[in-house]
Structure 1
Amino acid sequence: MTPLDMLLSRASTDHLVEPAPSAAQLADVLATAMRAPDHGKLRPWRYVLIEGNARPLAAERIVASMLRLDPNAPEAKLTKRRTRFSTMPLIIALGMHLRPDNKIPLWEQEMAVAAATMNVLNALHATGFGAVWVSGEITEDPVLAAELGLPAPHKLAGFLFVGTPAEQRQPPRRPDPAQFSAYWTGTPVTFAADKE
């Protein structure tokens, strides 16, 4: 498989089983994050690794966050989150170590975290692991972020669920890139994807 074939075959999955990456494999995977574009060399990415007996503890913090944000959250939703955070082989909380007073705008710092996360997702796929990036309202909860070691102004960008894919599945069919690109020749472009 060529590097391009590998990138084209990546797809998110939450059908994950043990094993998660070993410490050495995870070190290599996270090293790819350090190659992300990073205007100002702020290195705003932070990774909180949650495995083993820490998973149920994290799950309870997630449920508490959900209830802080919505005291009427449906029990089924709480149970689903508790189960997922308790059983995924590895969870990586994606931290954004933000510097609001820096000359680099916050949106650029956040984009650097997103770019680094994509490198991590690609590296996991390249080493035979699977992952999915999950987010939701809990990423906006400053209490949860602080409990994970990211006090304000730092934030969460979400969580990666990581493990071995439970089954080999065909990657989903992706749209044609031509629908999302257009050559600019001096007048505003239009995109085929926007005409649907």
Structure 2
Amino acid sequence: MTATLDLLTTRRSVPPLLLDGPGPDRAQLETILTVASRVPDHGKLAPWRFIVIADAARERVGDIIATTFAADNPDARPERLAQERGRLMHAPLTVAVVSRTGPHVKIPEWEQLLSVGAATMNLVVAANASGFATSWLTEWYAYDRRVLDALGLAPSEKLAGFVHIGRAREVPSDRPRPSLSEIVTYL
């Protein structure tokens, strides 16, 4: 089996709580983001963009998340607010993948969404191939317009997810995967 197939058949998400530093340096990150953008893209629309959240930005975004949560949950306990504030503090770096799909005369939005998903998966695989562990997550704040506005998303943009990148303290055991007989039809 080639190294690429080995990576693809064994890759595993690692929860952010199990991620530590160091994360990718600038050159590694630029390689990862370059690979992420090399996906099928009918019409060359690049219907995605990336927001890198590292260093002090993790705390700033954590404050945005906690403040938004507190506004909706005024009786939230301090421990819960601390949990919300710390959402992006486990991995040394998080990349928010922004979907900027929209109506196009020739390219259906569905195809644009598939391209965004492919870019996100390429980001994950490129980080894994570079020796990092990842976790692609969407939590409540990925859908909250106040958080999206604070992150600089346009009203027409959505978040495909947060990709947390770091070094695994431990790798969880694999989860059950569907058997091919459940997901493949031969005609």
For normalisation by structure 1, the TM-score amounts to 0.82
Structural RMSD (CA): 2.2
Mapping of residues 67-106 of structure 1, within 5 Å? 67-68=70-71, 70-71=72-73, 74-75=76-77, 76-106=79-109
Contact between 2:36 and 2:126, CA under 8 Å: does it hold in 1?
no
* CA deviation map 1:132-183 (0-9, x unaligned): 011122222223222212111011112111111113x365044253243333
For normalisation by structure 2, the TM-score amounts to 0.86
Q: Which has the higher contact order (CA 8 A, sep 6+)?
A: 2
Between the aligned partners of 1:23 and 1:110, the Cα distance in structure 2 is 28
Partner of 2:182: 180
Q: Structure 1 runs of 4+ off > 4 angstroms?
A: none
Q: 2:140 aligns with which of 133, 137, 143?
A: 137
Partner of 1:110: 113
Offset at 1:102? 4.9
Name which of structure 1's ranges 126-135 and 169-178 shifts more when overlaid on structure 2.
169-178
What 5-or-longer segments of structure 1 have no aligned partner? 186-196
Q: Does 1:7 align with 2:8?
A: yes
Between the aligned partners of 1:106 and 1:67, the Cα distance in structure 2 is 35
Residue correspondences, number: 183
Q: What SS is found at the alignment partner of 2:98?
A: strand
Offset at 1:93? 1.2
User: Match of 1:9, as an amino acid?
Assistant: T
What 5-or-longer segments of structure 2 have no aligned partner? none
Q: 2:127 aligns with which of 121, 124, 133?
A: 124
Between the aligned residues of both structures, percent identity stands at 35
Between the aligned partners of 2:105 and 2:140, the Cα distance in structure 1 is 26
Offset at 1:46? 0.9
Partner of 1:61: 64
Give the number of the structure whose alpha-carbon radius of gyration is greater. 1
Between the aligned partners of 1:108 and 1:5, the Cα distance in structure 2 is 28
Q: What SS is found at the alignment partner of 1:122?
A: helix
